[in-house]
Amino acid sequence: MAAGADADVSEARIGERFRWAVSSLRSPTTERQRELRRVVALCFPFLALLTFSGIFPLTEMFRISFSESRLTTEGFTLEYYSQLVTDPYYRTIAVNTLWFAAATTVASIAVAVPVAHSLEKYDLPGKSVILTVLSFPNSLPGIVAAFMIIVLFGNTGIVTNFIAALSGQSPIDLAMATSVVGLFFAYLYSMIPRALLLLRGTYAEVNTDAEEAARSLGASPLRTFWYVTLPQIKPGLIGACILVFRTALAIFGTILILKSLLVWTLQIDREIAQGFNIAQASAMATVWFAFVFLFTLLALRYTSAEVSI
C-alpha cells in the first residue's frame, strides 16, 4: 500500500511539474521563465527536424530489424542480428569497415597537423587562396571525389599515363583507381580538409608565449611541438579523430563508385538493391547507428575530461 501511495504521489508531482512548465511557456511571469521560452522557441526547429527526420525513421528501422517478414513488420525474430554475429561474411565486412576507417583517420590527422601548424605559425603568401583550395573538397560529394580518382589513377588517368610513359609499362597494369589504394586516396581527399579546419581553430587558442619560452631555453622546434604545442592541441586532435573516423564510417558515394572494398554502408545498399532484404539492412543500420552513437558519446566524454584537465 505504501509503495502504491508513493507511486501516486510521484505521478501527481510529475503531472504538476508538467502543467507548471506548460503554463510557464504559455504565460511567463519571471525572467527565468521568459528565458526558458526563448530557449524552447530557438530549439523547436531542431527538435521538429530531429523528431521527423531522426526519431521516427530510426524507430521504424528498429522495428523492421526484428520483423519475421522482409517486406512488412510482422512477428519478432533475432535472426538478422544473429546472422551479423555468426556469419563470417558479415564479420569480414565489419573488420574491413573498422580498419579502413582507422587507417584513413590516422593518415588524415598525420597530414592535417603539419599543414595546420604551417598555416597558423608562418606568414605564408596567398594564405587565403591556400585555405580555399584546401577546404574546397568539403563542398564536393563523395561521387565527385571518386570520379577525380578515376581521372587521375584510372586506366586512362593522367598520373597513370605519365608513369606509364616514364616506365614503359602498360597503363592497365599501373591503374589503381579501383584498388584499395585508390579508395584510400579518395577517402583522404575528403577527410583531410575536415581535420584541417577543426585543427586550425584549435591552433588559434595555442599559448604562443609558452612556445617562445621553450625555444628561448634551447628546445628544438620538434621538442617544443611535442612538449608544449601538442598538449595544448590535444582536445582538438581528439575531436578531429572523432569527426574523421565517423565520416569514414559513413561514406557511401565514394565506395559506391570505386567498389574496391566491401564495407558496412555498401553492404546495406546491396541488401536493399540486390536482395531486397529490408529487415537485414535495417539490422545492419541499427548496429551501425548504435556503434557510432556510443563511440561518439564515449569519445566526447574523454575530450571533455581532457579539456577540464
Domain enclosing residue 158, as ranges? 86-308
Rounded Cα–Cα distance for residues 281 and 42 (Å): 35
Residue 39 lies in a domain: no
Q: Please report whether residue 79 resides in a domain.
A: no
Classify residue 57: in a domain, yes or no: no
| Highest-confidence segment of 188-197, 229-238, 294-303 | 188-197
- Considering the domain boundaries, does residue 173 fall inside one? yes
Write out pLDDT tens, residues 10-64. 655 666 666 666 666 666 667 777 777 777 778 888 888 878 877 888 888 888 8
Asked if the structure places residue 145 within a domain, the reply is yes
71 falls within a domain:
no
pTM above 0.85, yes or no: no
Query: Is position 103 within any domain?
Result: yes
How confident is the model over 248-281, as pLDDT tens digits? 998 888 888 888 889 999 998 888 887 788 888 8
In the predicted structure, residue 308 carries a pLDDT above the cut 50: no
User: Where residue 251 sits, what CATH number does that domain have?
Assistant: 1.10.3720.10
CB neighbour burial string for 221-256, b if at least 16 within 10 angstroms, e if fewer: eeebbeebbeebbebbbbbbbbbbbbbbbebbbbbe
- Indicate the average pLDDT of the chain: 82
pLDDT, average across residues 96-121: 90
The answer to whether position 40 is within a domain reads no
Q: pLDDT per residue over 216-243, tens digit each?
A: 888 887 888 888 888 888 888 888 898 8
Number of domains in the chain: 1
Give the pLDDT score at 67.
84
